[in-house]
Amino acid sequence: MRICVPVCAKTFADMAEACARASAVGDIIELRLDCLQDLVSEIETFVSRLSRPIILTLRPAEQGGYRVLGRPERVAFWARDLKPDFLCDIEADLVLDVAVEPSRLIVSHHDFTGVPENLDQLYERLTATPARIVKIAVRANQITDCIPVFHLLDRANNEQRALIAIAMGNAGIATRILGPSRGAYLTYGSLEDESATAPGQVNARQLRSVYRIDEIDRETMICGLVGLPVMHSVSPHMHNAAFATAGVNGVYLPLEVRELESFVRRMIHPRTRELDWNVRGLSITAPHKSAVMELLDWIEPEAREIGAINTVVIENDKLRGYNTDVHGFISPLRERLGLVKGLRVAVIGAGGAARAVVWAMKREQANVTLFARAPDKARSASENFEVPCEPLSEASFRGYDVVINATPESPATAEQLAGAGLVYDLIYNPIETRFLQEARAAGCHTLGGLKMLVAQAQLQFELWTGKTAPASVMHDAAIAALRP
């Protein structure tokens, strides 16, 4: 068993419908009985009709459940004569007060605040109970909170103990995707994105179709997107589809990182990392594109000039930094305009993406002006690349051949864009951004960011794998992920 789909519904009729859908994507179904309006006596009859193995859970509100349940009510429920083919997930505070057969018993502990310092001692207390399976779910406030969870899985594996160990929250998603390959008894996947029963729970269908969880093993090459936020990105869809097509034993994960230095030191750099995992490459996005540079062992000259990194390759115990944004950005522009030498180009932004765009346009011998909402933040780019910088609030782009948005926002109005030639938005999600809508309203030609996304990702794939990237597969995967 690998993927367990939790089902939460107010009535047995709704639960039956959800179970039918869960059976199509999961190996086991967890019935969250605390979601039901009434705990009726027909639970055994209901479950006997289901085609998948079942976990019964009656979680009290104070431990992440959906209803207030007193201790006597919980004890009375578990005292029922339940059939032996159900697994019963019972909280640690109750497990010694019920008479469920140990072979059917999961003893669970949830901490929605963080990772307890005594995690190993907690594990030892739970393994001392009669339960056959131990479940520990803790909150990952930082991605490094995944480390003790992975270590606990390694310990249980060595001791041949059945353990479900999960770091909840977006920062803990790696434990959900990689857990089974590291010995976890199962992982949880939601039926739909909106029906997750715990923070950071991944859609069960995506666990199989995007992350190919059934194919991940200890040798799987691990790559991922490092930034904050990252859950909106379609990069996992692109890269995982490319791995599958190219026959690469690899998986690409969203890695939500707040504290970059500790993440790189404790989880990534071969000389200092605390995890035994085959991590090979990283995509770097906001806000870490410049900060990551001081943590690398080698940086390609172009990326050093730009002052921003979007790709890291782990090779021969070293971290090597590249910037594929330039290639990704310039390819669609050349396809649309040909040469840009001598054109008037306005670049909006002050971050790593803006630096890459300005550098590329200077190399192409365009006449560049930088616009920023806070010009002070763009001063270093302005001085380094010797381009003028003007405040965005006073900008008029009339007469510019190209206007490029390198911010995550919609920074200009149709009135400001009127009279410009081509308006290029590096944002790809949504495909039709407000910035492009404003540009069309102003009568401008437009270019979205999807082609850039795919082009820069192709080069990343090739740096990590040494194989030619399947461009059409990556493009189609991105489009499919962006469809409503």
Question: Residues 205-256: pLDDT tens digits?
Answer: 999 999 999 999 999 999 999 999 999 899 999 999 999 999 999 999 999 9
Active site residue ranges: 289
The burial class, CB within 10 Å (0-12 / 13-18 / 19+), for 186 is buried
Q: Which residues pair with 471 in a beta bridge?
A: none
Cβ(216)–Cβ(240) below 8 Å: no
pTM more than 0.85: yes
The answer for residues whose C-beta is within 8 angstroms of residue 22's C-beta and 6 or more apart is: 5, 7, 29, 52, 191, 204
Residue 330 lies in a domain: yes
Same domain, 192 and 244: no
Residue 282 lies in a domain: yes
Residue 458 lies in a domain: no
Enter the tokens of residue 477: 């995967």
The per-residue pLDDT for range 267-289, each reduced to its tens digit, is: 999 999 999 999 999 999 999 99
Same domain, 384 and 428: yes
Average pLDDT over residues 168-195: 93
Same domain, 105 and 17: yes
Provide the pairing of β-strand 86-91 with 250-256.
unpaired
What pLDDT is stored for residue 322 in this prediction? 98
Domain that holds residue 100: 3-217
Give helix then strand counts, H and E, for the chain.
Answer: 17, 21
Residue 456 lies in a domain: no
Same domain, 343 and 231: no
Same domain, 316 and 368: no
Per-residue DSSP letter, 464:
H
Same domain, 166 and 202: yes
Specify the higher pLDDT residue, 161 or 374.
Answer: 161
Cβ(226)–Cβ(285) below 8 Å: yes
**Polymer length in residues for the chain:** 484
The answer for residues whose C-beta is within 8 angstroms of residue 435's C-beta and 6 or more apart is: 405, 409, 410, 411, 412, 423, 425, 427
Q: State which of 193, 217, 241 marks the end of a domain.
A: 217
Same domain, 58 and 182: yes
Same domain, 135 and 281: no
Q: State which of 191, 217, 243 marks the end of a domain.
A: 217
E strand intervals along 162-305: 162-168, 187-190, 202-203, 221-227, 250-256, 279-284, 298-299
pLDDT beyond 80 at 429:
yes
Same domain, 275 and 367: no
How would residue 189 be classed by pLDDT, with cut points 50, 70 and 90? very high
Domain CATH for 80 = 3.20.20.70
Residue 80 lies in a domain: yes
Residue 106 lies in a domain: yes
Question: What total number of domains does the chain contain?
Answer: 3
Same domain, 242 and 107: no
Cα gap 355→379, rounded to integer Å: 11
Domain CATH for 343 = 3.40.50.720
pLDDT beyond 80 at 438:
yes
Cα gap 397→410, rounded to integer Å: 15
The per-residue pLDDT for range 88-123, each reduced to its tens digit, is: 999 999 999 888 899 999 999 999 999 999 999 999
